[in-house]
Amino acid sequence: MIRYGSLLLALSILFLLSACASKSLEQKTINAADKVRIPTSFEQLTFKSEGRTVFEDEGKFILIEGNKCTQRDSGSEAATVLQWIELPNYVDSGTVILNGWDMRFLHGDREVNTMSADITHSKIVKNEGSTFLVFEAQGKLSDQNRKDAYEFCVFYTAFGYRSVLFDAVIEGDYNGIEAAALQNKNQGALATLENTASRGTLKGNAAIAIIPRGFDFQFDNAFECELGFPPCKWADRTDYRLLQLAYNLSQSSTTPSLDGSLHWATQTVFKDNGTRTYRIRTRTAMILGNSVKLRADFLALNPRAGKTATCSKNVDGVVRTQTFRINDLSFDYAVPLLTGWDLSYECEHQQVQRAGIWLHDIRFDPDSSSLEYKVSSILRDSDGVPSFNTAQRITVLGLNRRIDTPIQRSAPVNIKIRE
């Protein structure tokens, strides 16, 4: 049973999150036109997460997945999800992963100015025998005017463990590690953001894994005048039809460089038929230690050139789902990370009604050392024509228990032998 004092402490911590928004709306129906009363941030936190326990090795490790949706009346403010998950008491370390997102305009399709999905804060809270993972996620979908209602859904995977059994430390957990850049159109559509952090030399077989936390894409302001009132200004926001939206988080190595520094990079694409200047911001966290292992996949981002010569214009306005299975994993526990994705329209740029990609239905079987999961994706305008292309990159984070874990032994029995 949850102790109210511990729960209130967890809620208070989330209440202090700097990016906390004051308005959010729990999803009722996808196309609901009627407004409902927007719950306060505290009211959001009174609802327990509906996360599903994927796997648990009692006393050692737990893996949870879930999702939550919220709506906003306009794109002038980000949609915020405040979430808390109750964890077993043996958990004293853990974090949350952004493993997918799904966003849509609620009334038709639009050109886009901003698209973002970001887990801004995360924290493990322990008090009076209770343990919680609390986090905040923000998403945004807007056009030039930012007046259209939209829905944002975050898909997350959380894991927790008893730290004495693992040589694994999570860093950058609360605020994440941010990187930002302005990609000028003269530099091309493919942007690269590099992160370097100083950690010192890791010992033994220690490795590092970078955890995806979020992205924020926004077309830079440029003069674009559309008929309307009031008259447009030079500094007005711009929006464009979308051809391609892509993200790829990669690390050059699982170990530090010779000087002990850590390095990883994120590549992005955000474009219409042409190449536009856009702003990028990304967020990550990291886990490192001798218990950390990594099985990386590959995804090459190639910016689309624009309208193709041949185009079938098939109708495909539904969610596309694929099932994947990995066998013979040499890990005690495995956590899939959505570290890359590429969504693009089949023919040329279109307006956007819905876009998203998410990892779900995770199944880990330690007996067969196998991991199974599904990836769903969608990119469509109002009529679902043309179809879309999708690709993803899944990195498997492995965790192995320490082999030098102290074993509790009974106290020695002293026997005195009479001389």
Q: Tens digit of pLDDT for each residue in 53-79? A: 999 999 999 999 999 999 999 999 999
- Among the listed ranges 121-130, 270-279, 406-415, which one has the minimum average pLDDT value? 406-415
User: Which of these ranges, 142-146, 210-214, 359-363, 396-400, has the smallest mean pLDDT?
Assistant: 142-146
> How high is the pLDDT of residue 266?
95
Instruction: Identify residue 82 by its one-letter amino acid code.
Output: L
Residue 232 DSSP SS3: coil
- Say what the pLDDT of residue 30 is: 37
pLDDT recorded at residue 253: 66
pLDDT confidence tier of residue 170, bands split at 50, 70 and 90: very high
Answer yes or no: are the C-beta atoms of 114 and 142 closer than 8 Å.
Answer: yes
Is residue 64 within 8 Å of residue 159, measured between CB atoms?
A: yes
Tens-digit pLDDT profile for residues 180-217: 999 999 999 999 998 887 666 566 678 889 999 999 99
Range with the poorest average pLDDT among 41-45, 166-170, 279-283, 387-391: 41-45
| 31 vs 131, more confident | 131
The more confidently predicted of residues 303 and 35 is: 303
Of 124-128, 151-155, 332-336, 365-369, the range with the lowest mean pLDDT is 124-128
Asked whether the predicted pLDDT for residue 415 surpasses 60, the reply is: no
* Segment 117-144 mean pLDDT: 93
Q: What is the pTM of this model?
A: 0.85
Q: What is the pLDDT of residues 368-387, one digit of tens each?
A: 999 999 999 999 999 988 89
Cβ neighbors of 106 (< 8 A, separation 6 or more) are 30, 31, 32, 33, 71, 148, 149, 150, 151
Considering only residues 364 and 260, tell me which one the structure prediction assigns the higher pLDDT.
Answer: 364
Is the pLDDT score of 3 beyond 60? no
Q: Which residues of 85-121 are buried (b: 16+ CB within 10 A; e: fewer)?
A: bbbeebbebbbbbbbbbbbbbbeebbbbbbbbbbbbb
Q: How confident is the model over 319-345, as a mean pLDDT?
A: 96
Q: State what percent of residues in the chain have pLDDT above 70.
A: 77
Which residues does residue 250 pair with via DSSP β-bridges, in sequence order? 265
Q: How far apart are CA 144 and CA 75, in angstroms?
A: 9
Percent over 90 (pLDDT), the chain: 64
Give whichever of 5-14, 159-168, 296-305 has the largest mean pLDDT: 159-168
Asked whether residue 117 carries a pLDDT value surpassing 60, the answer given is yes
The tens digit of pLDDT for each residue in 212-270 reads 999 999 999 765 555 554 555 555 678 999 999 999 999 866 766 666 677 899 999 99
- The pLDDT value given to residue 358: 98
Average pLDDT of the residues of the chain: 84
Token pair in block for residue 34: 């009627």
Return the minimum-mean-pLDDT range out of 25-34, 38-47, 181-190, 312-321: 25-34
